[in-house]
Amino acid sequence: MVSTASSPENIATSRKSQVEENLLTPRFYTTDFEKAANLDLSSGEEDLKAMLSEMKADYNRHHFVRDDAFKQVWDHIQGEEREAFIDYLERSCVSEFSGFLLFKELSRKLKGRSPMLAEIFALMARDEARHAGFLNKAMADFNISLDLGKLTKKRNYTFFPVEWIIYAVYLSEKIGYWRYILIHRHLEQHPENNFYPLFNYFESWCQDENRHGDIFKALLRSQPSMWNTWKSRLWSRFFLLSVFATHSLTVHERTKFYESLGLNATQFDVDVIRETNNTSARAFPVILDVDHPEFFKRLDRCAARNLKMKTIAESSAPKVWKFLRKVSLVAGTVGDLLRLYMLRTIDTEAMKGTIR
């Protein structure tokens, strides 16, 4: 039952200037801006110009406006469901804000040197800022928000080479698209599980993710060294597995959130990974064989170990015992991931004639 003791306007909101750091926390990134400015985009120029036109059209410029559905107190969402949802909002907000910072800095550093790319990054930063702001307002509905200005100064930045940024951001945007669209489709069929109006925005939201992914696909395919060499095949395999493993661990940590939507977390994880893997065939020289009988079995084992490590960390057991137990769990996870990395991949260049 919704509380009527107070209104959303007079509830105190706690401001956070830092977030818990762990393996799954979204990072802030920086890169080699000089190399980014000198990328030869000639082979992808036509696709990038088309994407720039789409970004300028700004189809979602009127979309991220909170309607009257938000104007209530959300005290009826309590317990583990509330905690899991706030964690989802926080990580999503940090992830979107991380993209904003990276794209904004790329735009600033490339201005005057690679004008088309600088403008594209500025427009992507615009989208990411909208997303982060919208999520932060959603957090405020639950009496907490992130101080994004202070967070910018306090967080450490991880350096990624330009090539890694292109691989990683492409996958981040495409897996984000599939997360949003699959939740949207599920709630269309089961509106009784739509417990908060944020989900009403997911259809248009995922289109932003899809456009951003297409931009990074054009960047990737404009660089033959990123898709037409033996090294590119190894890197593609590495980033696909890294992103999919991170997704599995994160989704299984948020089982309560997905249950509150009426979703099975394990099946949702499988569906998102499978669709993202298939989509990646349009950009990467290889994709993973997710139909291999070992693939999801080993990912699930990694996710289970991650949950055990969280339980151990929260226990009152002696530190030595905690350390030894974690070492064995980490070793098992590393072993499973190495085994998955060694599985035979699927050559997408041979499939190009069948991919639409």
* DSSP track, 137-199: HHHHTTTEEE-HHHHHHHS-EEE--HHHHHHHHHHHHHHHHHHHHHHHHHHHH-GGG--SGGG
Whether residue 4 has pLDDT greater than 60: no
CA distance 242 to 237: 9
188, 183, 180, 185: which is closest to 206 by C-alpha?
180
Cβ(13)–Cβ(140) below 8 Å:
yes
Range with the poorest average pLDDT among 200-209, 229-238, 339-348:
200-209
The structure tokens 């949802």 sit at: 85
260, two tokens: 């509150």
Amino acid identity of residue 270, one-letter, is V
CB atoms within 10 A of CB 30: 14
pLDDT reported for residue 7: 43
CA distance 118 to 177: 23
pLDDT reported for residue 352: 63
For residues 351 and 31, which has the higher predicted lDDT (pLDDT)? 31
User: Mean pLDDT of all residues in the chain?
Assistant: 90
Q: pTM of whole model > 0.85?
A: yes
Percent above pLDDT 90 for the chain? 76
Helix (H, G, I), strand (E, B) or coil at 47: helix
Whether residue 240 has pLDDT greater than 70: yes
Whether residue 139 has pLDDT greater than 50: yes
pLDDT reported for residue 348: 94
CA distance 326 to 179: 30
Helix axes of 265-280 and 295-314: crossing angle, nearest 10 degrees: 130
pLDDT reported for residue 6: 41
pLDDT (average), residues 290-299: 97
pLDDT (average), residues 32-50: 95
pLDDT reported for residue 59: 86
pLDDT reported for residue 169: 97
CB atoms within 10 A of CB 190: 12
pLDDT reported for residue 171: 98
The structure tokens 């009527």 sit at: 4
pLDDT reported for residue 5: 37
117, 256, 263: which is closest to 183 by C-alpha?
263
CB atoms within 10 A of CB 146: 22
CA distance 132 to 28: 14
CA distance 337 to 262: 30
pLDDT reported for residue 259: 95
pLDDT (average), residues 144-172: 91
Percent above pLDDT 70 for the chain? 92
pLDDT reported for residue 232: 97
pLDDT band at 2 (very low <50, low <70, confident <90, very high): very low
Model pLDDT for residues 60-104, shown as the tens digit of each residue? 888 888 999 999 999 888 998 999 999 999 999 999 999 999 999
pLDDT (average), residues 160-177: 97
354, two tokens: 């069948």
Q: Are strands 157-159 and 14-16 parallel, antiparallel or unpaired?
A: unpaired
CA distance 55 to 127: 9
pLDDT (average), residues 152-156: 82
CA distance 272 to 223: 27
Q: How far is CA 117 from the centre of its chain?
A: 22
Helix axes of 295-314 and 319-341: crossing angle, nearest 10 degrees: 170
Whether residue 29 has pLDDT greater than 60: yes
